[in-house]
Amino acid sequence: MTIAAPHRFSASRRIDVSQLIVWTIGGVLLTIVFIGSVLTLRAGHYTAAQWRDFIVFGIAQGAIYALIALGYTMVYGVLRMINFAHGEVFMSGAMTTFFLADYLNRSGFLKSHPWVSLVTMLLFSGLVSMTVAVLVERIAYRPLRGAPRLVPLITAVGASFFLQYTFRGLFGSGVRAYPPIPVLQGKLWFFQKTQVAVFVGVLITLALLVLFLQRTRAGLAIRAVAEDREAAALMGIDVDRAIVTTFAVGGFMAGIAGVLYALVFVQVQFFMGFLPGIKAFTAAVLGGIGNLPGAALGGLVLGVIESVGPSLFFDGYGIRAAHQLKDVIAFTILVLILIFRPTGLLGERLGGEDRV
């Protein structure tokens, strides 16, 4: 004890130095952002209506991130692993549904029954993504459940690229544009109708998710496994099945998010899953990974920051084409959250020292 103490002391002091540097960098970044915001607001290049539009757009985008983030968070909750291929699960639904949407559009059904078409598209996309997610779990994750942490992480990266380039091979590398949905054109008060539809869609999906988790036996099993896998298994819960259900539900929501994303951004492509995937992960961590309301909140916060941030933070410095730095902001938030508050805004519900 007497021998160990000075060692520990000196080691922790050295960590303090490195921590000091990290905190300084964080402080500098925060100052830059703050000064930039003040400068921008004082310069007054943007009208209040423009800021409002930024925020509305950010909320719609953030709602989509939230849906994807829930998939990350749920999988993390039950398996303590990050499903790196989740962004590709999202992409697979959106890409495949393009062909359904295209067919509905050309047959005229989309025009005559827009709501039926939309619901069909959402369900179809959800089912495709669900299948992909379950397959990934079965092939790439389940056989390695007892292996060292690095192993499933590497297969996850592999699965991600495998899926991306499979879809590229199947459907080509070109950008496809979803057909416009007639009833969603134009504005409702000062919102774009698509944005309203996205928001409503996300709310309904979230409500269904909460009902599923709280009111069904499968939901109960998932919550039990997330709480304590060992105890759940002892209580007769089929852990494998609960895990598959988690992947299925997460995948289904990612598929719905895929169609909603296509409503807002119109274009889909094999590579489209990467950025939303990373951002949804950021959202999940931002809210506190493993924490469902946290994922939803994190998505919204990230969406708004990303939408407002480039103009607000950088315009004041006179930086050219600040919108190009949108993703830099998202990635910086990601890194900063991981460094300074890995438990997120709302705290990690399923804490564990093994992760940080």
For other proteins, the binding residues in 169-198 under the rule CB under 8 A are 169-172
Q: What are residue 170's DSSP bridge partners?
A: none
Chain position carrying tokens 């304590």: 228
Smaller CB separation from other proteins, 84 or 199: 84
Q: Per-residue contact track with other proteins, 21 to 60, x per CB under 8 A?
A: xx--x-----------------------------------
Q: How far is the CB of 178 from other proteins (least distance, A)?
A: 15
Map residues 136-175 to x or -, x wherever contact with other proteins holds by CB under 8 A.
---xx--xxxxxxxxxxxxx-xxxxxxxxxx-xxxxx---
* Residue 236 touches other proteins, criterion: CB under 8 A: no
Site for other proteins in 303-322 (CB under 8 A): 314, 319-322
Residues 66-95, mask of contacts with other proteins (x by CB under 8 A)? --------------xxx-x-----------
Residues 252, 192: Cα–Cα separation, whole Å: 25
**Nearer to other proteins by C-beta: 180 or 342?**
342
Query: Looking at beta carbons only, is 148 or 186 nearer to other proteins?
Result: 148
- The single-letter DSSP state of residue 175 is -
Minimum Å distance from CB 164 to other proteins? 7
Q: Which of 33, 331, 341, 350 touches other proteins by CB under 8 A?
A: 331
Q: Which 254-313 positions form the footprint of other proteins (CB under 8 A)? A: 274, 278, 281
Shortest Cβ 235–other proteins spacing (Å) = 11
Task: Mark 238-257 with x for binding to other proteins (rule: CB under 8 A) and - for no binding.
Answer: -xx-----------------
Beta bridge partners of 177: 267
Among 31, 183, 328, 347, binds other proteins (CB under 8 A): 328
Minimum CB–partner distance for residue 319 and other proteins (Å) = 5
Q: How far is the CB of 317 from other proteins (least distance, A)?
A: 9
Taking alpha carbons only, the member of 149, 163, 156 closest to residue 94 is 163
DSSP per residue, 220-265: HHHHHHHH-HHHHHHTT--HHHHHHHHHHHHHHHHHHHHHHHHHHH
92, with CB counted inside 10 A (0-12, 13-18, 19+), is buried
- Nearest Cα residue to 305 out of 327, 281, 277: 327
Q: Does 11 bind other proteins (CB under 8 A)?
A: yes
Q: Does 335 bind other proteins (CB under 8 A)?
A: yes
Q: What is the CB neighbour count within 10 angstroms for residue 316?
A: 19
CA atoms in the 13 A half-sphere facing the CB of 180: 6
Where do the DSSP E strands lie in the chain? 176-177, 187-188, 191-192, 267-268
Whether 286 contacts 301, CB under 8 Å? yes
Number of residues that bind other proteins (CB under 8 A): 72
Work out whether 215 is an interface residue with other proteins (CB under 8 A): no
What are the distances in angstroms from CA 195 to CA 184, 190, 260, 298, 353? 9, 10, 9, 18, 39
Whether 131 contacts 248, CB under 8 Å? no
